[in-house]
Structure 1
Amino acid sequence: MDDKTMDDKTPLPAYSASTAPSSMRLEKSEKSEYSSTDLPPTYEPPKRFTIGESTTLEPLVSIQQIKGHLALLRAFAELKTQIENYDTSKVHKLSDADAKWAWFVGLAVERFDRWCQLLQPDVASQSTQDVMPPIDVLMVWHAYMLNPRWYAEDGLRQASCEILRSLEVHFLGILEDPSLISYPTTARIQLWEARTLGLPFDHIASMHTLNQRSLWCPNCESAITVDLLLDDGKGYLQQGFVTTCSHCGQGDITKAVLAHRKLAADIAVMPINNAQSRLAGSYWPPSSDTSKVDQAKTLVYTNAKPFHTGQPALNEFNAASTELRGYMTKAIMKQHDTMVKLRTQLQVRCSGRIFNRVITAYNDDKVYSIDLVGAVLRQGTFVKKMYDLGWTQPGFFSGYDDELALHHALARYHAFLDLMTTSPVSFFVPTLDIDLVWHTHQLLPAKYEADTALYLKRFIDHDDKVEGLRLSSAFDMTCKAWKGRFNVSYTHCGCAVVGDTIGQRLTRMVGLFGKPEEPPSHLIPANRGDLLAATHPSDHNAVHFQARTESAHKVAVRRYEALAWKKQKEQQKWDKKRAKSLAQHDDERRKPGYIHDTMFLTPVPLFYPIGGLGYGYVGGYAGGCVGGGGGVVGDVSGSCASCGSGGVCGGGGCAGSSAGGSACGGGGGGGCGGGGGGGCGGGGGGGGCGGGGS
């Protein structure tokens, strides 16, 4: 693909249009060879579903919305291909494809941030064709919404995010008709440029012009202009970011220092009487832990008052004044002069999962409580899975028989929600088809919130903090719970979990080939390769626990590498046995587009933080799940940064264990991130697990 194959003038796939060229689709003849158990022509997919004790009046997500989502995923996949093949030598010397993509995603987040911060309340009243941002910015917004708890809370706490949420009706319009943004109108381009202070609408043009950003000095609050990428690895999008304020002379301004000021400023908002006055991660959804965070915040605020030694005195201000907040922010930073010290003080009254969640929201100076670069990178492997399955091809589901595959995925998603009502404290792992519908539901944020509250009596998160080894156990539990609830196998892709006993493997094979007594027909896929592969566990997520020191990082690396080697040997041994006993079955599964990698490889730590808080991403992916109990599994004070290499029968492998951090070194964690953890983005880790509420 050349540099201009995919841009904002390239139409998004229109699923209502005629089918794609034969070379790009799985032909009917190919599909039919898998169709010995296809449902009869008279089959009508269900239109109402039971979730717990309730029955829906209609499906929670429409087939057209799923198709529209697939059209967007194809646009994202083609955008990634374009960037990876683009010659960046005139901008930055980035020869590695992963490094190019990580850098580009960093730029996309900068573009999204400027657009979001400059949104005006009247923007929602304009037409979808005119108001929607470019495709790269849509990609960032899409990833943001797929972290529904953070997205919902930020919309309550931050004014700019509240305006962003008013545009959700336009995002719905794209799902209903992706062609609305296929060709940017003149009005759309002009509105974008006017609302972003002249940023080019075209993402390629922006790559050549967007090389700096402004931030506020945490000491004197003067505006500082910093480079996004530098040869010495100290650019804003790089792990080793550091700068100096030319106004007050403060040096060593890092992401950790910016995060320190962001947290201090939020603590300084008093009194605690609304969403804006609460710390990120502590407000939505409401829980009993909120009071603990409020107490911790009040304690830090009160203890910092004596550290304000200037004039005028604090008691001369109104309690909610902006001036008082500014003085108290400096007082808090003066008393607790590092992020580590401030975190320690908060822990006096607040600890555990709620504390971990709050702290993870403070990693830079942006208003968003989630690292959007990491969020986009984590979605990359899921996008690739859908693309490789062929499901994003234009016209792939244009026929009635083909569309039944989406009805099947829709039915399984409703069953997945029903399963969650049976065990509110368990973690359940979605398959690819279920995750597709789940993601689509999350792209309707207000509806998703209302639906989960109505049918599950709690908010269901889709978080990114489940470690790979725990994920494997969660998937096995999901299979058993599904079988017990619906009397049908959960996955039909033929993959086996490493370490199963012979009895467990036989049980799974019986579940694969045997016929349940009376299973729900809408939960059984037709015997077609892509449909069976879609019941494969979703693996676009991983968790990264950050080591505090280099020595701790090295110890963790050795421990995890040894365990990974052991697991890989077990996998190789199992693969040989499986190849002999299931040769014919494997041949069918290995047809183009349906190849699976190893399940749940052991995560390997990739970097330790610099300057108190690490900023980088791990390579590989581990898989996602939904947990009814809510909360955060990840702990920023943990012992290592781990990636879920390989993930659920597929996903990227570990890129290496070195931290890197020099200018866009790519691969192995250095520079722009590549497959590992550093620089301006990294190779994608973490993401997409669910915590079910509080």
Structure 2
Amino acid sequence: MASEDSISFPLPPPSYPTNKDGAQLYSSPPAYTFPQLFKIGRKQTFGPLVTTAALHSHLGLLRQFWNLRQAVESGQDARIPAFALAPEPELRWAWFVTLAVDRFERWVKGMRYNYAVDSSLPPIDVAMVWHAYLLNPGWYSEDTSRLSVLGSLMTQNGTLLKAMENDTYNAPPSQSRVDAWIKATSSPFDPFDSAAVTRNRTFACPRCRRDVEAPFITASGRGYAQQNFCTNCPSCSSTITKGGLGMLKFAQDIASPGRELAGTLYTPTDSKDRPRAARIKNAILQGTAFNGRRTCNTDLDSKTLEGREYENLIFNNCEGSLVKLRELVGKQMKGGGGRLLSRIMGAYTNDSIFSIDLVGAVLRQGSFIKKMQHLRWTEQGFFDGPDDEVVLQHCVARYHAFLDLIASSPGPFFVPTLDIDLAWHTHQLLARRYLNDTMSYVGRFVDHDDKVEEDHLSTSFDLTCRAWQSRFNVAYMHCGCPLPGDTLGQKLAAKVKRRSQQQPSFLLPPDHPDSIGATHPSDHNSVFAFHHSAKSAAARRKRAAKAERRRARDAANMEIGKLAREAHARGWGHQQAFLEPVPYYYGPGFGGCLAWYGGVDAGAVQGVPLGREGVQLAEAFVGAAPGAGLWDVEEEEASAGVEVEEAAAGAVEADVAGVDAWVDDVQRLVSVCFLLGFLY
């Protein structure tokens, strides 16, 4: 364990301010007691849903991913091709991740489930892609239910965590494991050996269906892994783009009886809502462009097209264009399709069997791994000391409270802190068990949305802070970021008496320096929306000004004794969340972790994984061209937080006078705070 002097957050937990009646809530944290049972909503667990041992294993896995990234970005491995050494390290990493996603797809198509963990585990680069896929549980659940080729993935609950418990990734691979990989993929096991010989991606031509090989990288910037991908079919000479490949994937799904369209099967209350998916597909099939019954000119008879003939009809009617496809599908859906249509379209931007852009997903998770590394939590032996287990226990306890907050609130958006996010990610690695746990305790499936515009994410985090304070009577974060408060909503809450000010002891920060920094907002992947740059820049300036006002408020409170000097000092030089994007920009996609149970409406538009220099690198390297016509949904997403905040402000001001008349008990008080107060 590292010494206290080397920790980034060496100050003790804060002394909390006094309440309105002058009684101090507590002056120093009590001895930490880790509960064995947790209350989530109206139910009590039979034990922790996530264990500290699982967090240990997950951190070890993240350490392996971090080491792999460092090895690639350093460019020191002699097996890295010369053309991949020319770009900046981050672009080299993006190229490597693209190869890893291709290898993951090959493994999935060729794998046979083996109950012996050691012999079924893929190489570390493929495990990294699988890990990112699991952290999109809504899409993961739907894809593994909808596509038979992915069905075996859902049976491997917790396989990656078991691998770390068994030290599988800390030792050379067994020969049986290497043989199983080569048999399934016909490629080298070692990712660097594979990178040395892998040059092309193979796919079917949308016109003639002959196999086509296209290089991942070309000097002209038209490689499969590059922004302006374009190639010609050597058999029929047709031009092939990512949009055309996505169009073919859609045609195959719509033409296949019994196969649901991507984005239509999962709902928050039913992960396999097949009747709903069938209704959506049938509505689309009523459109002329998708109707498989065709009249023959010779005898005025009709026949029903099937298979490739039907697929070709749909492809040609849509002119091989995603823009045309969106237009035609939208005509068959209520209100033009809205966010549901954007969710569907986002799954058809390329030929991948997966419904999400896994390259972007891996890069987004890389930001979280970097934060864990900066906290030093991924270091070997960092939590091996006898007094260090309390830090991970605090993570587990706060995660269960986070689920309780979601279960007891009608609000859809809650943003985790880093420690909660670690436990949340760990739970999601259990796949089917995560689905069952959230359905059982929360009452709905809790999706994990990591594509949220930074201003909306910031507003949602403020909402989370207020909801947490209102429900548990303890601050949500202690890292040094100024907390929201002393505003209209808080004044409203103070007007109504509570029956109890008791704080759950297990949510109070333990007397351990490593628990403090991890309560920072999990703002990894909060991205700047370049397609609305002026609006986004103005929102960022507004957030910076708000942060300064809060810091001034804290300074004043410290002078009058309402805030401990130690707590105020923790903010000196502390980087404010939601004011800088992470190093990767994703074009139309958004980043940031957020609890979302309205998954059927989430605008899951897949973005473009790019590099640190944003737009300039967008023109240069990695990415899948997004479906056109999707910007309206994202603009709505970007401004949603501001609109909710302004609407709630009017509601609060209108109802302050009569609030005492309709708040009778603690439960109604909490509802009022949720609906009116904690947005301010």
TM-score (norm 1): 0.76
Whether the aligned pair in 2 keeps the contact of 1:529 and 1:589 (CA below 8 Å) is no
The equivalent of 2:376 in structure 1 is: 390
Q: Which amino acid aligns with 1:661?
A: E
Q: Percent identity?
A: 37
Partner of 1:649 in structure 2? none
Q: Give the secondary-structure state (helix, strand or coil) at the position aligned to 1:238.
A: coil
How many residues matched?
Answer: 590
Following superposition, the deviation at residue 477 of structure 1 comes to 1.4
Match of 1:261?
248
Taking structure 1 as reference, are residues 194 and 95 closer, same or farther at Cα in structure 2, changes over 3 Å only? same
Q: Determine the C-alpha separation between the residues in 2 that align with 1:633 and 1:362.
A: 15
Asked if the contact 1:493–1:535 (Cα under 8 Å) also holds between the matched residues in 2, the reply is yes
Given the alignment of the two structures, is residue 107 of structure 1 paired with residue 99 of structure 2, yes or no?
A: yes
Change (3 A) 1:138 1:653: closer
SS of residue paired to 2:142 = helix
Does 2:210 align with 1:212? no
Other-structure match for 2:600: 631
Instruction: Work out the CA distance in 1 between the residues paired with 2:68 and 2:597.
Output: 35
Q: 1:605 to 1:347 in 2, by over 3 A?
A: farther
SS in 2 for 1:280: coil
TM-score w.r.t. length of structure 2: 0.77
CA separation in 1, counterparts of 2:52 and 2:298?
Answer: 63
For the 8 Å contact 1:538–1:624, the answer to whether it is kept is yes
Q: Which residue of the partner structure matches residue 678 of structure 2?
A: none
In structure 2, the CA distance between the partners of 1:309 and 1:267, relative to structure 1 (3 Å rule), is farther
Aligned to 1:201: 189
Q: CA deviation at 1:578?
A: 7.2
The AA in structure 1 aligned to 2:594 is C
1:13-24 to 2 correspondences below 5 Å: none
User: Does structure 2 retain, via aligned residues, the 8 Å contact 1:619–1:655?
Assistant: no
Q: Out of 23, 41, 51, which is 1:62 matched to?
A: 51
**Contact map agreement 1:72 1:178 (CA 8 A) in 2:** no
Alpha-carbon distance in 2 for matches of 1:482, 1:604: 26
User: Which of 324, 328, 334 is 2:310 aligned to?
Assistant: 328
Deviations along 1:149-206, whole A, 9 cap, x unmatched? 1111111111221122233353342243344653211222222122211x22112222
1:386 to partner: Cα distance: 1.0
Moved more, 286-295 or 473-482: 286-295
1:63 offset after TM fit, Å?
A: 1.4
Question: Residues of 2 paired with 1:130 and 1:191: CA distance?
Answer: 7
Cα distance change, pair 164–412 in 1 and its aligned pair in 2 (3 A): same
Residue 250 (structure 1) aligned to one of 238, 242, 262: 238
Alignment of 1:659-670 (within 5 A): 660-662=618-620
CA shift for structure 1 position 295: 3.1
Cα offsets for 1:325-347 (capped at 9, x unmatched): 21111011111112111211111
- On the 8 A contact 1:308/1:327 being kept in 2, the answer is no
Structure 1 residues 580 and 207 mapped into 2: Cα distance closer, same or farther (>3 Å)? farther
**Partner AA of 2:195 in structure 1:** M
Q: Which aligned pairs between 1:531-550 and structure 2 lie closer than 5 A?
A: 531-542=515-526
Match of 1:483 in 2: 469
Structure-to-structure mapping, 1:615-654, within 5 angstroms: 617-618=586-587, 623-634=592-603, 636=605
CA 1:78–1:642 in 2, change beyond 3 Å: closer, same or farther? closer
Classify 1:581/1:529 alpha carbon distance in 2 versus 1 (closer, same or farther; 3 Å): farther
Deviation at 1:417, TM superposition (A): 0.8
Q: Which residue in 1 is equivalent to 2:651?
A: none
Q: CA deviation at 1:296?
A: 2.8
Rounded to whole Å, the distance in 2 between the matches of 1:484 and 1:578 is: 19
Question: For the structure 1 residues 621 and 219, does the alpha-carbon distance in structure 2 shift closer, same or farther, using more than 3 Å as the test?
Answer: closer
Q: Is 1:171–2:141 an aligned residue pair?
A: no
- In the other structure, the counterpart of 1:279 is 261
SS at match of 1:356: helix
Q: 1:234 and 1:202 mapped to 2: Cα distance?
A: 27
Q: What's the RMSD between the two structures over aligned residues?
A: 3.9
Selected match of 2:435 from 449, 453, 464: 449
Matched, 1:86 2:68: no
Corresponding residue for 2:509?
525
Letter in 2 for 1:355: L
- Output the CA distance in 2 between the equivalents of 1:400 and 1:619: 46
For the pair 1:405 / 2:388, whether they are aligned, the reply is no
8 A contact 2:104–2:129 mirrored in 1: yes
Query: Which residue does the alignment assign to 1:235?
Result: 223
Query: Conserved in 2, the CA contact under 8 Å of 1:619 and 1:653?
Result: no
1:72 aligns with 2:67: no
Instruction: Tell me the CA shift for residue 634 of structure 1.
Output: 3.2
Separation in 2, partners of 1:560, 1:54: 41
Task: Determine the C-alpha separation between the residues in 2 that align with 1:657 and 1:91.
Answer: 22
The secondary structure found in structure 1 opposite 2:410 is coil
Cα distance, 1:355–1:506 mapped onto 2, change above 3 Å: closer
Residue 84 of structure 2 aligns to a residue whose secondary structure is coil
1:531-551 superposed Cα distances (whole Å, 9 cap, x missing partner):
1111111112346879xxxxx
Contact 1:307/1:332 (8 A) holds in 2? no
CA pair 178-62 structure 1, distance change in 2 beyond 3 A: farther
In the TM superposition, what is the alpha-carbon distance from 1:358 to its structure 2 partner? 1.1
Q: Pick 1 or 2: higher relative contact order, CA cutoff 8 A, min separation 6.
A: 2
Equivalent position to 2:404, from 405, 408, 418: 418
Give yes or no for contact 2:450–2:590 (8 Å, CA) kept in 1.
no
- 1:422 aligned partner, one-letter code: S
Q: Shift in Å at residue 492 of structure 1? A: 1.3
Aligned residues of 2:413 and 2:595 also touching (Cα < 8 A): yes
8 A Cα contact 2:206 2:245, kept in partner? yes
Equivalent residue in structure 2 for 1:148, among 137, 142, 153: 137
Q: Which runs of 5+ in 2 are unaligned?
A: 15-27, 495-499, 559-563, 627-633, 638-680
Query: Retained in 2: the 8 A contact 1:465–1:634?
Result: no
Map of 1:437 onto structure 2: 423
Query: Deviation of residue 590 (structure 1)?
Result: 7.4
**Counterpart residue type for residue 446 of structure 2:** I
Q: Using the alignment, how far apart are the partners of 1:469 and 1:538 within structure 2?
A: 14
Aligned with 2:212 (options 215, 224, 236): 224
Quote the offset at 1:435 in angstroms: 0.7
Partners of 2:612 and 2:543 lie apart in 1 by: 14
Residue number in structure 2 paired with 1:9: none
Q: Is the 8 A contact 1:33 1:528 kept in 2?
A: no
Q: In the TM superposition, what is the alpha-carbon distance from 1:308 to its structure 2 partner?
A: 8.5
Whether the aligned pair in 1 keeps the contact of 2:588 and 2:605 (CA below 8 Å) is no
State whether residues 103 and 126 of structure 2, in contact with CA within 8 Å, keep that contact through their aligned partners in structure 1: yes
